[in-house]
Amino acid sequence: MTTVITFGTFDVLHVGHLRILQRSRALGDRLVVGVSSDALNMSKKNRQAVFSQDERCELVANLRCVDEVFVEESLELKRQYIEKYAADILVMGDDWAGRFDEFNDICRVEYLPRTPSISTTAVIEHISGMAGGNA
Ligand code: C2G
Per-residue pLDDT at 131: 81
CATH code assigned to 3-131: 3.40.50.620
- 106 alpha carbon to ligand 1 midpoint, in Å? 22
Per-residue pLDDT of the chain (135 residues; tens, 9 = 90+): 999 999 999 999 999 999 999 999 999 999 999 999 999 999 999 999 999 999 999 999 999 999 999 999 999 999 999 999 999 999 999 999 999 999 999 999 999 999 999 999 999 999 999 987 554
Q: Where are the domains of the chain?
A: 3-131
The predicted model scores a pTM of: 0.95
For residues 36 and 77, is the Cβ–Cβ distance under 8 A? no
Q: Which residues contact 30 (CB under 8 A, 6 or more apart)?
A: 1, 2, 3, 4, 67, 68
- Nearest atom, ligand 1, residue 75 CA: 26
Pocket flag, ligand 1, residue 77 (CB < 6 Å): no
Pocket flag, ligand 1, residue 60 (CB < 6 Å): no
Task: Give the DSSP letter of residue 76.
Answer: G
Pocket flag, ligand 1, residue 118 (CB < 6 Å): yes
- Nearest atom, ligand 1, residue 93 CA: 11
Pairing of strands 89-93, 68-72: unpaired
